[in-house]
Structure 1
Amino acid sequence: MEKKKILIVEDEESLLKLESILLSSRGYNVGGVADGITALEEITRFRPDLIILDIMLPGMDGFEVCRRIKENPESQHIPVIMLTAKKSSQDRERGMAIGAAAYITKPFKSAKIMEIIQRLLTS
Structure 2
Amino acid sequence: MGKKILIVEDEESLLKLESILLTSKGFEVRGVANGTEALEAIAEEPPDLVLLDIMLPELDGFEVCRRIKEQEATRGIPVIMLTAKKSREDMSRGEEVGADWYITKPFKSAMVIETIQRFLAR
Indicate whether 1:112 and 2:122 are aligned.
Answer: no
Letter in 1 for 2:113: M
User: Aligned equivalents of 1:101 and 1:115: distance in 2?
Assistant: 14
After TM superposition, the runs of 4+ consecutive aligned structure 1 residues lying more than 4 A away are none
1:84 maps to: 83
User: Aligned equivalents of 1:46 and 1:19: distance in 2?
Assistant: 20
RMSD across aligned C-alpha pairs, in angstroms?
Answer: 0.6
User: Aligned equivalents of 2:44 and 2:67: distance in 1?
Assistant: 16
User: Aligned equivalents of 1:62 and 1:102: distance in 2?
Assistant: 13
Unaligned runs of 5+ in 2: none
2:70 maps to: 71
Q: How much has 1:46 moved relative to structure 2?
A: 2.4
Unaligned runs of 5+ in 1: none
Q: How many residues align?
A: 122
1:62 maps to: 61
2:99 maps to: 100
1:6 maps to: 5
Q: How much has 1:12 moved relative to structure 2?
A: 0.2
TM-score if structure 1 supplies the norm length?
Answer: 0.97
TM-score if structure 2 supplies the norm length?
Answer: 0.98
User: Aligned equivalents of 1:83 and 1:110: distance in 2?
Assistant: 11
Q: How much has 1:69 moved relative to structure 2?
A: 0.3
SS class of match (2:43): helix
